[in-house]
Amino acid sequence: MESVPNLDVFILTFNAAKHEINVPVFARHLYNAFGQNASSLPELLVISLQEMAPLAQAFIGSHVLSPYFQRYETAVNTAAAKFIAEEERENRPKDSPYTLVTTRNVGMTGILLFAREPAAVRNLQTAEVGFGAGDMANKGAVGLRMLYRKEDEDGSSLASTELTFVSAHLAAMEWNLNKRNKNWESIVSGLTFEDPKKIAERPSTQRTLDGDGDFETQEPLLEQDSTLKATHNVSVYKPGSHLFVAGDLNYRLSKKPPTSDSTFPDIDPESPNHFSRFLSRDQLAIEKAAGRTLNGLSEAPIKFPPTYKLTFLPKSDPQGELSQAENEQDDSWSWAIHRWPGWCDRILFLDIPWWVRETVGDVKMNVLAYDAIPAMRSSDHRAVFLRLKVPMLEPAKLLPTESACKTELSADQHQPVDPRIKLPFPIDFQSWEHRAQVKKWEYTIGWSMLVSLSRRGLMAFVALVLIGLGTWWYRSR
């Protein structure tokens, strides 16, 4: 069996509660996370954000969101520079160990990609879907897909692999369990990395979609296979790509809100109500086992308390002498009594398929750490991070073999088919066109909200409207 090199990947998800982060505090927590079960910096770093900015700025996007993204960039490089300085015992830390390769957002949900070697990132693609009110992106998902290629000093390829990252924010509230599952279906159907309508416009596909004629007589099997492959390859479950899903997935411990006599999880390991005893009630684990969400994805063991909903106890600082960074150290918090705590903030991944292990050997995702960073007063969530070594398997080596397809499709009907072979939900061929239409409304709403926040801005907006109406009236005479 061949030796497969690994890629060191660090993923963090955080619901920022529409606030800018405290950079020194966030950097300190990142620094500590970098050192957990590792002695070097990760090669690739992805940050998944939810409620990363107020709704108006998020709907406008572009340069309006730059200050929010820049704070994370500063925090990442501050933490990384300190890590390198202490590792190499240097007095002067390096300025920017990481390059911010790209940022993307869909409404208030964002994603940032950092790399130690940015030239290793190739063929970058993006995707987005909204499933909030009116399919707007107050809730939604944004994705990145890339080829990561390692080279030697001569420029010869040592190894390459494809990676897909999804940042998601699903429906809130205890009783919205079915809606969360439906949001995941929207991700599978609508988060596509190319316009699926181009596939739908092929004659063979169109007849299949319209249901005209006998399937077996429409096209040769080879053509049918190419259509299915093209559809599958634009989805999050592209067979030749590693998949990671991170975000505020909002799954709780119950469909009903807690009552005054409800028993909450406890962080005391000696308590009979220690949080580990509540994992059996985790909605995500239950729904995933039933095949209703996050199909086929795996998760490292959870050894941290629920990450939502936190409430903070007042900190005594009568003289007002503590800095903001000092004020956020050793924060005391408890669970909010009107919400069930939940492991809302999660990171899952698609494990190496069994057919690859049969041909390549015992390769697997090697999880180094899966944990939550300390609570920060700017948010009622704790950020969660996952660090793992990803086998750098060429896309072609991840593809299911013909025998694997037959085995999966002929298995017991009660057993789920690997989503790399059969998608759990069909692709929405109108997803790109629909998203483009909704984005126009978001942009208009965003600017309207932003303008109305200030009296001067509102007066300027009214003046522009009056000038526009006057111009229209004058030209129509």
Q: Where are the domains of the chain?
A: 6-196+234-429, 431-477
The pLDDT tens digits of the residues spanning 167-194 come to 999 999 999 999 999 999 999 999 999 9
Determine contact, residues 335/258, Cβ cutoff 8 Å: no
Determine contact, residues 281/306, Cβ cutoff 8 Å: no
Alpha-carbon distance of 377 to 471, in angstroms, equals 50
**What pLDDT does 458 receive?**
54
Q: How many helices (H) and strands (E) does the chain have?
A: 15, 13
Determine contact, residues 120/101, Cβ cutoff 8 Å: no
**What pLDDT does 317 receive?**
53
Which sign, positive or negative, has the C-alpha torsion 335, 339, 343, 346?
A: negative
Alpha-carbon distance of 204 to 211, in angstroms, equals 11
**What pLDDT does 94 receive?**
59
**What pLDDT does 459 receive?**
55
- Residue spans of the chain under pLDDT 50: 207-224, 319
**What pLDDT does 198 receive?**
82
Alpha-carbon distance of 78 to 27, in angstroms, equals 6
**What pLDDT does 220 receive?**
40
Burial class (CB in 10 A: 0-12, 13-18, 19+), 131: buried
The pLDDT tens digits of the residues spanning 268-324 come to 999 999 999 999 999 999 999 999 999 999 999 999 999 999 998 876 555 455 555
**What pLDDT does 451 receive?**
72
CATH of 6-196+234-429, one of 3.60.10.10, 3.10.20.310, 3.30.499.10, 4.10.320.10: 3.60.10.10
